[in-house]
């Protein structure tokens, strides 16, 4: 059995209890050495065979699945495996080989970073939509960030801090210039950095940040008094009964 496990954003305590229990029984562990905190490997069995996927090709990873198909294998992905996790191709081959698998969700860096900037990502009258995206420079990205920006929704941009200035120039054409922008580097790691700015000044403020960061953009990050009606004493009970 192969377990795709969301290893969370960095802090080993942000792994789920389910993932923790599975890790304790797996004979083989493949972890994404570039982003998964090695302290999580302390949760594995003493004699588990450990592989760092950042040094392996897809074929080599598939060979490990094949070789140990009778065993329990943990495949640790950073954050949640469903976001830029590259699990599709692994699932494809596991299904071809009739090897069973399960996906154990994890805390995405998006949510860990939102917690660190102490923000709700949605707010009434401002944005009820969050867009997870990346800047398509060298990678095919069907959606164009300028088109996405037209919605003025909350944006969370992965894998793209290298292109911050280009992104900001594009967003300026759609969002007001004083729209808050936050760059969160290595959320929940010991060397975490959080840079607060606006479309006007974030490029300069965050110029040192070159990787492992998220870019948050949106009016929701302004201090605001547009509270949710959910707990409002005047809010009709009729609406409260509606199941979320």
- Positions touching ligand SAH (CB under 6 A) are 9-10, 35, 77-80, 83-85, 108-109, 113, 158-159, 184, 186-189, 212-214
Q: How far is the CB of 115 from ligand SAH (least distance, A)?
A: 11
In the bound state with ligand SAH, the residue whose beta carbon lies nearer, of 91 and 126, is: 91
Nearer to ligand SAH, 109 or 154 (CB): 109
What are the backbone dihedrals phi and psi of residue 114, each rounded to the nearest 5 degrees, phi first? -60, -40
Rounded CA separation 176/155 (Å): 14
Helix (H, G, I), strand (E, B) or coil at 182: strand
Contacts of residue 191, defined as CB under 8 A and 6 or more positions apart, other chains included, come to 185
Residues contacting 55, CB < 8 A, separation 6+: 33
User: Measured from the CB of residue 166, what is the shortest distance to ligand SAH in angstroms?
Assistant: 16
Nearer to ligand SAH by C-beta: 68 or 101? 101
Asked whether the beta carbons of 51 and 32 are under 8 A apart, the reply is: no
Q: How far is CA 117 from CA 1, 10, 40, 149, 188, in A?
A: 38, 16, 24, 21, 11
Contact 127, 221 (CB under 8 A): no
At closest approach, how far in Å is the CB of 9 from ligand SAH?
4
CB of 131 to ligand SAH, least distance (A): 14
Residue 11 or 27 having the CB closest to ligand SAH = 11
The residue among 207 and 240 lying less far from ligand SAH, judged by its C-beta, is 207
Report d(CA 25, CA 173) in Å as an integer.
Answer: 52
Instruction: Count, in order, helices (H) and strands (E) of the chain.
Output: 8, 10
Q: How far is the CB of 214 from ligand SAH (least distance, A)?
A: 4
Nearer to ligand SAH, 80 or 219 (CB): 80
Q: How far is the CB of 152 from ligand SAH (least distance, A)?
A: 22
Which residue's Cβ lies closest to ligand SAH? 79
Identify the DSSP state of 54. G
């Amino acid at each position: 059995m192969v377990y795709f496990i969301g290893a969370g954003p960095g802090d080993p305590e942000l792994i789920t209890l389910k993932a923790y229990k599975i890790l304790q029984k797996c004979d083989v562990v493949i972890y994404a050495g570039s982003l998964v905190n090695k302290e999580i490997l302390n949760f594995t069995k003493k004699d588990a065979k450990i592989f760092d996927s950042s040094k392996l090709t897809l074929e080599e990873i598939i060979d490990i699945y094949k070789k140990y198909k009778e065993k329990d294998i943990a495949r640790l992905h950073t954050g949640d495996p469903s976001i830029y996790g590259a699990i599709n191709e692994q699932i494809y081959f596991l299904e071809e080989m009739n090897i069973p698998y399960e996906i154990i969700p994890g805390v995405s860096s998006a949510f860990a970073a939102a917690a660190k900037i102490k923000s709700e990502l949605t707010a009434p009258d401002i944005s009820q939509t969050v867009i997870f995206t990346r800047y398509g420079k060298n990678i095919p990205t069907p959606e164009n960030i300028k088109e996405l920006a037209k919605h003025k929704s909350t944006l969370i941009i992965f894998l793209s801090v290298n292109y911050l200035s280009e992104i900001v120039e594009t967003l300026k054409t759609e969002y007001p210039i004083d729209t808050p922008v936050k760059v969160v580097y290595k959320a929940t790691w010991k060397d975490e950095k959080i840079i607060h700015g606006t479309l006007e000044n974030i490029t300069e403020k965050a110029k040192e940040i070159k990787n492992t960061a998220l870019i948050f953009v949106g009016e929701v990050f302004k201090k605001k008094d547009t509270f949710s009606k959910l707990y409002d004493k005047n809010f009709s009970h009729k609406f409260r009964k509606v199941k979320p």
